[in-house]
């Protein structure tokens, strides 16, 4: 039997499998493990798509609110964050076009949440 790095790996994999099964396979649920989880290579980002909004949730432990910068072009969100020890930049492709002017962001206890209104893909055209 090969040695294990983390005795809870199997447990976390099973939790991920059960959560994805409960969500009908439509959600991608991941459980982060490891001593250095969050901020950096292991930063965990979840994207939730609803009928009228897109919600992005990112774990950024150890970062002050002033150390976070967000940019959105309607199709992708760029999260830039830094603290005394690390810098983090990630461009996240959004699952739907969003109205970047509708963005509302909160940051609490190392968790960043950004909510966008979906943008209508088409508009009515009057024929004269």
- List pLDDT tens digits, range 34-55: 333 344 555 689 999 988 999 9
Structure token pair of residue 36: 């250095």
User: Which pLDDT belongs to residue 85?
Assistant: 84
Task: Confirm if 23 and 29 have CB atoms less than 8 A apart.
Answer: yes
User: Which runs of consecutive H residues, i.e. helices, occur in 7-108?
Assistant: 9-22
Strand, coil or helix: 33: coil
Element (H, E) at 81: strand 76-82
User: What gap in Å lies between CA 104 and CA 113, rounded to an integer?
Assistant: 8
User: What gap in Å lies between CA 78 and CA 47, rounded to an integer?
Assistant: 13
List residues bridging with 104 in a β-sheet.
115
pTM for the structure as a whole:
0.63
Percent of the chain, pLDDT > 90? 43
User: What gap in Å lies between CA 26 and CA 95, rounded to an integer?
Assistant: 13
User: Which runs of consecutive H residues, i.e. helices, occur in 23-92?
Assistant: none
Structure token pair of residue 93: 């492709």
- List pLDDT tens digits, range 90-118: 899 999 999 999 999 999 999 999 999 99
């Amino acid at each position: 039997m090969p040695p294990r790095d983390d005795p809870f790996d199997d447990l976390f994999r099973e939790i991920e499998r059960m959560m994805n099964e409960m969500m009908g396979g439509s959600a991608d649920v991941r459980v982060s493990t490891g001593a250095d989880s969050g901020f950096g290579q292991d930063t965990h980002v979840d994207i939730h798509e609803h009928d009228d909004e897109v919600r992005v949730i990112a774990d950024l432990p150890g970062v002050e609110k002033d150390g976070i910068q967000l940019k959105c072009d309607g199709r992708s969100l760029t999260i830039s964050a830094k603290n005394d020890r690390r810098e983090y930049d990630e461009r996240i492709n959004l699952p739907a076009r969003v109205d970047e002017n509708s963005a509302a962001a909160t940051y609490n206890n190392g968790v960043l949440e950004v909510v966008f209104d979906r943008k209508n893909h088409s508009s009515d055209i009057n024929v004269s």
